[in-house]
């Protein structure tokens, strides 16, 4: 019996050996402590890796990806064929590979691994293509196939070895498919490469090989694909002049040596929105220290593009300059290859900054850019300039044969390179987004430009949603506190369907008050590490645009199962305090719970209940108790130095049929807004302290750094111009001086001052407690803070929920949650997503503001000067929460006499001097002359300056307003 068993076991091992062969490589590695470690790397080779083709009769594959009828109309390849692109083709021609025409492509493991190491964005796009069934892209694991794996030869570079591995796999496929399909006109394999050496070696090996460009140009039925081709180095040189316009970029080796020696600085290039001849490089120092280097002039910008990582060299101190106060756009005709456009005079002033020049590019941050084509005036020309929507990006020269079709459309273009002989970078057409000015097109542009993930949730993500109908189970009830009897209600903006939070307040038998903040238990539904969790972590936040919401989690959760709607049972995470009537906290506890909200109220409805003395039901009494405590809590916060700042938020009333904005108002805040805010702040602070006490190394917290003193310059100067003193030594000093800042006969002055103070603030950021020592939140004057109260719309809150659940023993932990480096990397992504979300929301408001003014003709409104520039004033219109620029050096008029004083600051226009906070009257209209950059134009009516002011337009009675969809 024993012998038979051993024989069977041996037989199984023998059959396994037929499938698996083992290669091993041994090398030694020096450790940090100076010791030597022997490393044995094992590499398994198999012969059960299938080819993925429908025509194959050799491979024992259950399903196939590559089609039998792999036909595409080509003047080079008249037979059915599969494509094998090499690494550089994938890296540089991903736009071509994404086109629906390109199908039946074999992606080798060698290529996939190289792409993964060299470009994360391209790798993600390639993986997405592979997952599209209709594209028929097949990944072949050539590095583990017994017949296609090759060893690196002595003296052979890694790149040459990989090229040889690609050729070996191509040869194997050609021979393998020949045995399956008879006849010379059968299925063939075409290797695509742009490397002349690789192409020559492939031809010598008898392989069918073409350059990517020649193959794409051979697709006679799809000539538009040529536009998607990224330019090769040969072509880049063809379309530039011989004149050198920019200094040569230094090689990476010299850059690294210069950074090490301190002669160069490394930082992120940030182009100016207002002046195309100016940029700053943000250099991160040790800890919190950072510096900004100013760059002026095209030569010193030296072909860097916004967000590139660059090396800069500081200029001698006597060449340092101040940031320009001129608003300067690159809107002139294309002076094709002329980099000498710097007619702007250099300014000398007291606020000169370290000034430098770009000497090299460390890492390009190019992405496909949205914008519009400037069709060349020369008939039949295929070379045109593309103007990006983002003013910080330079214009891009592309080749396209579709110029007539693309004119007037929003398109996407990718940069291929920027030679030193060319005034503009070279690029290629990616795709069209639709007609410019159309709402859907502009919304798509807005989302793409702000890198907001907005594709539909994939099936992989949706597969992790609970099955419907869903209900709370007895098992759920066992592990939770039953709070369904409490008078809980939610208070939110009108139309809110993703209700994160609900509140209750009741009197206890001992005379104290119990206050509860109940937050949707999203972490119950989103488990760590699955596809739903990864998607939410990548999105980071829900993005609210005008009339549209881009959810962080699928709608089944955001608007249904997680939303704390009234009169339905919902899972919650509750923070419950016992307080006395002075709002002093006596006890705090956290619990997973089940609640049943008794009412979903708007801020206005809650306010009406509080104010209506005839109402004395449980909900109203709960609201009154909450409101009374909130007022005390707010007073205590302000006494500690919390800031009350101001920014005008606008609300659009949308036509229910056309979905166009028909009314525009600034949002009014009520007591109930403040009531909800106070308890959310209190819950966030309580939870922050709890998770930090339990997990001092890996708590996800939120801090608000104090602004550097220089940020307050404009605020101090503005206050001084009205003889008001502002103290900025601490948040409390600032808060106290803002409270007493008044100017007789100017009631709006304090609001303007707070708006200006808001602009001085730094961005609040998420961070991991184990990676930082300064936790303070400047604006809230709190020593510790986090986000716990909005897990439906913020991923940070989900992490905080998980930490809190582990802290109270309500859930188990997992490795990434306790890894401070992973938490820190996650924080960085969330900070980026939140910042982009804010920018996208502002852009959406700006677009809808333009739609609003489109049908209004010219309006005249009163406003206040918010900033003065060298050639313009920036005016705030409080009625609409709108900012606009009044230019004094317009092209169609003779320029008036302008004198700019940076110290006050003031701008003298002829005989009138403008200072910050001056009251003005302006016309407001939409300038749609530039379809892509439509803008709100303002012109001065009052004060009247001869030759500068415009007469007030006759504003007739407005048309009857359509029905509002509130």
Q: DSSP letters along 287-326, please?
A: TT-EEEEEEESHHHHTT--TT-EEEEEEPPGGG-BPPP--
Please calculate the CA angle 437-441-442 and round it to the nearest 5 degrees. 60
| CA dist., res. 576 & res. 242, Å (int) | 73
Please report how the helices 109-118 and 158-178 are oriented relative to each other, as an axis angle in degrees rounded to 10: 150
Residue whose C-alpha is closest to residue 525's, from 467, 564, 453, 457: 467
| CA dist., res. 390 & res. 388, Å (int) | 5
| CA dist., res. 575 & res. 520, Å (int) | 12
| CA dist., res. 699 & res. 885, Å (int) | 44
| CA dist., res. 365 & res. 307, Å (int) | 6
Query: In this structure, are residues 709 and 777 in contact, taking their beta carbons and an 8 Å threshold?
Result: no
| CA dist., res. 505 & res. 845, Å (int) | 37
| CA dist., res. 738 & res. 735, Å (int) | 5
Strand-pairing partners, residue 314, are 356
Query: Low-confidence residues of the chain, pLDDT below 50?
Result: 1-18, 182-184, 236-239, 332-350, 956-966
Q: What pLDDT sits at residue 20?
A: 59
Give the pairing of strands 650-655 and 964-965: antiparallel
| CA dist., res. 273 & res. 874, Å (int) | 15
| CA dist., res. 138 & res. 617, Å (int) | 66
Q: What pLDDT sits at residue 22?
A: 65
Helix (H, G, I), strand (E, B) or coil at 26: strand
Strand-pairing partners, residue 190, are 83
Contacts 24+ apart (CB under 8 A), 442-447: 442/410, 442/847, 443/545, 443/548, 443/844, 443/847, 444/410, 445/370, 445/389, 445/410, 446/545, 446/840, 446/843, 446/844, 446/847, 447/543, 447/550, 447/840
Residue whose C-alpha is closest to residue 188's, from 112, 33, 81: 81
Q: What pLDDT sits at residue 350?
A: 45
| CA dist., res. 200 & res. 191, Å (int) | 12
Return the DSSP state at 557.
Answer: I
Query: In this structure, are residues 947 and 909 in contact, taking their beta carbons and an 8 Å threshold?
Result: no
Q: Where are the beta strands (DSSP E) in 209-344?
A: 209-210, 265-271, 278-284, 290-296, 309-314
Side-chain-side CA neighbours of residue 865 (13 Å):
25
Q: What pLDDT sits at residue 18?
A: 45
Strand-pairing partners, residue 283, are 291
Side-chain-side CA neighbours of residue 478 (13 Å):
3
| CA dist., res. 307 & res. 840, Å (int) | 18
CA quadruple 832, 835, 838, 842: dihedral sign: negative
Which pair of structure tokens corresponds to residue 913?
């001097």
- How many residues appear in the chain? 966
Q: What pLDDT sits at residue 869?
A: 87
Radius of gyration of the chain from Cα atoms? 32
Q: Is 59 exposed, middle or buried (0-12, 13-18, 19+ CB in 10 A)?
A: middle
Element (H, E) at 518: strand 513-520
| CA dist., res. 177 & res. 55, Å (int) | 8
Helix (H, G, I), strand (E, B) or coil at 643: coil
Place of tokens 């949308």: 654
Which pair of structure tokens corresponds to residue 652?
């659009």
For 193-246, the pLDDT digits (tens) are 999 999 999 999 999 999 999 999 998 888 888 888 887 655 544 445 567 889
Strand-pairing partners, residue 278, are 296
Q: Is 21 exposed, middle or buried (0-12, 13-18, 19+ CB in 10 A)?
A: middle
Q: What pLDDT sits at residue 274?
A: 80
CA quadruple 218, 220, 223, 228: dihedral sign: negative
User: Quick one: how far is CA 143 from the chain centroid?
Assistant: 36
- Rounded to 5 degrees, what are φ and ψ at 650? -110, 155
For residue 87, what are the CA distances in angstroms to 36, 111, 541, 630, 788?
A: 35, 5, 34, 61, 44
Q: What pLDDT sits at residue 16?
A: 41
Query: In this structure, are residues 97 and 203 in contact, taking their beta carbons and an 8 Å threshold?
Result: no
Contacts of 575 (CB under 8 A, 6+ apart): 516, 517, 519, 588, 589, 590, 683, 686, 687, 788
Query: In this structure, are residues 741 and 753 in contact, taking their beta carbons and an 8 Å threshold?
Result: yes
Strand-pairing partners, residue 487, are none
Place of tokens 């645009």: 545
Query: In this structure, are residues 377 and 341 in contact, taking their beta carbons and an 8 Å threshold?
Result: no
First to last CA, the chain: 83
Contacts of 578 (CB under 8 A, 6+ apart): 508, 512, 513, 514, 585, 586, 587
CA dihedral 534, 539, 542, 547 (to 10 degrees): -130
**Confidence (pTM):** 0.80
Which pair of structure tokens corresponds to residue 931?
């379809």
Residue whose C-alpha is closest to residue 914's, from 924, 900, 903: 900
| CA dist., res. 278 & res. 273, Å (int) | 9
Return the DSSP state at 466.
Answer: P
| CA dist., res. 561 & res. 555, Å (int) | 9
Helix (H, G, I), strand (E, B) or coil at 692: helix
Query: In this structure, are residues 938 and 923 in contact, taking their beta carbons and an 8 Å threshold?
Result: yes
- Rounded to 5 degrees, what are φ and ψ at 543? -110, 125
| CA dist., res. 952 & res. 392, Å (int) | 35
| CA dist., res. 120 & res. 363, Å (int) | 13
Residue whose C-alpha is closest to residue 655's, from 542, 494, 546: 546
DSSP letters, 902-917, are TTTTEEEETTEEEETT
Element (H, E) at 387: strand 383-388
């Amino acid at each position: 019996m024993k012998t038979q068993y051993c024989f069977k076991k041996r037989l199984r091992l023998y059959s396994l050996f037929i499938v698996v062969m083992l290669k091993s490589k041994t090398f030694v590695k020096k450790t940090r402590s100076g010791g030597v470690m022997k490393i044995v790397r094992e590499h398994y080779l198999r012969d059960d890796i299938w080819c993925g083709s429908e025509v194959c009769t050799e491979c024992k594959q259950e399903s196939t990806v590559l089609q039998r009828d792999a036909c595409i109309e080509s003047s080079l390849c008249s037979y059915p064929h599969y494509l094998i692109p090499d690494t550089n083709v994938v890296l540089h021609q991903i736009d071509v590979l994404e086109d629906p025409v390109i199908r039946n492509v074999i992606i080798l493991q060698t290529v996939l691994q190289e792409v993964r190491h060299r470009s994360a964005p391209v790798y993600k796009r390639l993986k997405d293509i592979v997952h599209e069934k209709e594209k028929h892209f097949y990944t072949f694991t050539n590095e583990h196939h017994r017949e296609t794996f090759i060893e690196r030869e002595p003296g052979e570079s890694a790149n040459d070895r990989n090229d040889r591995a690609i050729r070996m796999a191509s040869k194997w496929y050609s021979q393998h498919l020949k045995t399956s399909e008879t006849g010379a006109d059968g299925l063939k394999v075409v290797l695509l490469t742009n490397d002349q050496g690789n192409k020559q070696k492939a031809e010598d090996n008898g392989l069918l090989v073409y350059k990517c460009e020649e193959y794409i140009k051979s697709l006679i039925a799809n000539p538009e694909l040529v536009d998607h081709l990224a330019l090769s180095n040969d072509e880049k040189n063809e379309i530039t002049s011989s004149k050198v316009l920019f200094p040569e970029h230094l090689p990476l080796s010299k850059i690294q040596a210069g950074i090490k020696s301190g002669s160069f600085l490394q930082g992120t290039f940030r182009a100016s929105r207002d002046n195309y001849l100016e940029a700053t490089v943000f250099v991160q120092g040790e800890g919190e220290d950072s510096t900004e280097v100013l760059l002026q002039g095209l030569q010193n910008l030296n072909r860097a593009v916004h967000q590139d990582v660059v090396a800069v060299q500081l200029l001698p101190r006597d060449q340092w300059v101040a940031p320009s106060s001129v608003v300067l756009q690159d809107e002139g005709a294309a002076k094709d290859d002329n980099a000498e456009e710097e007619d702007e005079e250099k300014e000398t002033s007291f606020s000169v900054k370290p000034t430098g020049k770009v000497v090299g590019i460390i890492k390009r941050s190019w992405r496909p850019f949205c914008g519009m084509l400037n069709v060349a005036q020369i008939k039949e020309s295929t070379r045109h300039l593309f103007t990006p929507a983002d003013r910080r990006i330079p214009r891009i020269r592309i080749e396209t044969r579709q110029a007539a079709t693309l004119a007037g459309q929003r398109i996407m273009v990718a940069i291929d390179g920027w030679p030193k002989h060319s005034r503009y970078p070279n690029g290629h057409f990616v795709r069209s987004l639709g007609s410019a000015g159309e709402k859907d097109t502009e919304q798509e542009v807005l989302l793409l430009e702000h890198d907001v993930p907005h594709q539909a949730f994939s099936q992989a993500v949706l597969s992790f949603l609970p099955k419907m109908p869903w209900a709370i189970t007895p098992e759920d009830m066992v592990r939770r506190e039953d709070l369904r009897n409490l008078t809980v209600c939610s208070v939110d903006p009108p139309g809110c369907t993703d209700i994160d939070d609900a509140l209750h307040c009741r009197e206890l038998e001992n005379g104290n008050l119990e206050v509860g903040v109940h937050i949707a238990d999203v972490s119950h539904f989103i488990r760590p590490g699955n596809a739903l969790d990864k998607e939410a972590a990548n999105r980071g936040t829900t993005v609210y645009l005008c009339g549209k919401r881009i959810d962080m989690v699928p709608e089944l959760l955001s608007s249904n199962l997680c939303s704390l709607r009234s009169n339905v049972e919902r899972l919650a995470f509750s923070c419950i305090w016992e307080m006395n009537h002075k709002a002093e906290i006596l006890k705090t506890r956290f619990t997973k719970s089940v609640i049943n909200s008794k009412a979903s109220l708007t801020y206005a409805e809650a306010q009406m209940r509080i104010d209506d003395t005839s109402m004395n039901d449980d909900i109203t009494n709960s609201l009154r108790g909450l409101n009374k405590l909130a007022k005390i809590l707010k007073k205590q916060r302000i006494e500690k130095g919390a800031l009350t700042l101001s920014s005008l938020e606008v609300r659009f009333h949308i036509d229910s049929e056309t979905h166009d904005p028909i009314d525009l108002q600034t949002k009014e805040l009520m007591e109930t807004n403040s009531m909800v805010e106070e308890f959310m702040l209190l819950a966030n602070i309580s939870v922050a302290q709890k998770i930090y006490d339990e997990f001092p190394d890996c708590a996800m917290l939120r801090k608000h750094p104090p602004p550097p003193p220089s940020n307050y310059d404009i605020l101090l100067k503005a206050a001084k111009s009205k003889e008001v003193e502002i103290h900025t030594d601490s948040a409390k000093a600032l808060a106290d001086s803002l409270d007493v800042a008044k100017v007789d006969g100017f009631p709006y002055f304090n609001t303007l001052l707070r708006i200006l103070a808001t602009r001085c603030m730094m961005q609040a950021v998420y961070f991991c407690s184990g990676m930082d020592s300064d936790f303070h939140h400047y604006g809230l004057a709190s020593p510790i803070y986090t986000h716990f109260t909005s897990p439906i719309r913020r991923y940070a809150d989900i992490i905080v929920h998980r930490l809190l659940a582990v802290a109270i023993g309500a859930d188990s932990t997992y490795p990434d949650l306790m890894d401070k480096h992973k938490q820190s990397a996650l924080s960085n992504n969330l900070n980026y997503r939140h910042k982009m979300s804010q920018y996208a929301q502002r852009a959406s408001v700006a677009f809808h503001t333009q739609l609003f003014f489109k049908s209004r003709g010219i309006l005249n409104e009163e406003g206040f000067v918010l900033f003065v520039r060298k050639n313009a004033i920036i005016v705030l219109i409080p009625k609409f929460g709108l900012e606009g620029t009044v230019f004094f050096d317009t092209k169609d008029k003779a320029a008036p006499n302008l004198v700019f004083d940076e110290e006050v600051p003031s701008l003298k226009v002829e005989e009138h001097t403008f200072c910050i906070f001056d009251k003005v009257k302006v016309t407001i209209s939409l300038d749609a002359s530039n379809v892509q950059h439509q803008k709100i134009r303002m012109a001065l009516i009052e004060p009247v300056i001869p030759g500068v002011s415009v007469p007030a337009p006759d504003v007739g009675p407005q048309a009857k307003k359509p029905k509002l969809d509130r």
